[in-house]
Amino acid sequence: MSDIRWCCAGFNANFLTAGERGVGVFAAMPPGHERPMFFLQFRALDADAPPPRDGEAFTAAVQLGLRFCPWCGRNLRKWYLRSIPLLRRDDLFLSG
């Protein structure tokens, strides 16, 4: 990750925690898209944790697409054009 020039400390910190409980950011290639996209994701549990079994409705994770950094406002595709392969975490993408 030392090859990446981060747009800001907020994006860097949240990329490093992607997949863990809380907020994370990453790039992924959604099915049917020609280019990777950036995502902001919130997880109520760690990626490998089982959901609670109390019978109530529970949202384990939500994500939304990003064009601009939520912390500094930079255009992510332009800023990370050469680094997108290093930022891809297709395993974290929530499909469906």
With cut-offs at 50, 70 and 90, classify the pLDDT of residue 55: confident
Give the per-residue pLDDT at 1.
61
pLDDT value of residue 48: 77
Read off the pLDDT of residues 10-46 as tens digits, 9 standing for 90 and up: 999 999 999 999 999 999 999 999 999 999 999 998 7
CB atoms under 10 Å from CB of 66, counted, come to 18
Averaged pLDDT for residues 72-78: 98
Percentage of the chain beyond pLDDT 70 is: 97
Contact present, 78 and 13 (Cβ < 8 Å):
no
Q: Take residue 56 and report the two structure tokens written for it.
A: 């109530």
> Would you list the DSSP string of 27-82?
EE--TT-SS-EEEEEEESS-TTSPPP-SSS----EEEEEESB-TTT--BHHHHTTT
